[in-house]
Structure 1
Amino acid sequence: MSVLQMSDFPALRNFLSAYFHQDWAVEHDTPGAVVDYFVEGESAHQVAQLRDEIARLLAQDMDEDELAAQVHELGSEYDPSLDGGNYQDWLRGIEERLIA
């Protein structure tokens, strides 16, 4: 795996650090509600850029631990394993919500 730079994913870094910060659960009931809030408040261009960057990140063929480390490096304070999930599925779920 090549070393990824945070600058390779500016929209994803902004999304994760601004929407999945340490108090995200105080502001939203579910991770899905966070994504919906982002979609409602941002431009179609920003939504499309985020979707593209998630697809690029998932295409890096990282294992779960590598992906978790990358997501945290990009600013996320959410851990999908606490809800019985994993990072691959969580990111794919976000990607699917962004298609609407």
Structure 2
Amino acid sequence: MSGFSRRDRDGYRRRVGEAEAGRRPRALMAGQQAVGGPALDYLAGAYFHQDFDLEADSPLGVVRKFRIAESPERVEAVSAEIRVLLGSGASEDRIAEIWLHSASYDPRRDGVAISRWLRTVLDELGGNE
């Protein structure tokens, strides 16, 4: 693992801070229903930063690193937020807006819809059981 990603994750944690952990960022609100959330935002920003492709051979490899490196509680929080987002009835454009709020990886460049990408993330995290 490069020192770059560790610094990015630590910096992201400092920027978000503990006070933010229980709040959903305004950018992730869809009408009155909150979708996405701080855990998904953390995965997107801390692991899918601009140099994410240096972390693993594939985007799914980055998700595997997240699953291994983070606590089971954080992994479950991301899974739960993805389930809420995908079940919210949000449009594909809205789902893309939420993911790309913090992520530098856009799966559409690989021919994959963001909702499909998030289902794949959910499967990899074991949250689709």
TM-score normalized by the length of structure 2: 0.69
Residues 73-100 of structure 1: CA deviation (Å, up to 9, x unaligned): 2x01111111110101000000011117
Deviation at 1:5, TM superposition (A): 5.7
* Unaligned ranges ≥5, structure 2: 1-29
Give runs of ≥4 in structure 1 deviating > 4 Å.
3-6
Q: Which has the larger radius of gyration?
A: 2
Partner of 2:23: none
* Unaligned ranges ≥5, structure 1: none
Identity of aligned residues (%): 35
SS in 1 for 2:112: coil
Residues 7-41 of structure 1: CA deviation (Å, up to 9, x unaligned): x6111111100001111012221011000000111
1:2 aligns with 2:21: no
TM-score normalized by the length of structure 1: 0.88
Residues 34-91 of structure 1: CA deviation (Å, up to 9, x unaligned): 0000011111111111100111111121221111111112x01111111110101000
SS in 2 for 1:77: coil
Q: How many corresponding residue pairs?
A: 98
Partner of 1:39: 67
* Structure of greater relative contact order (alpha carbons < 8 Å, 6+ residues apart): 1
RMSD of the alignment, in Å? Answer: 1.9
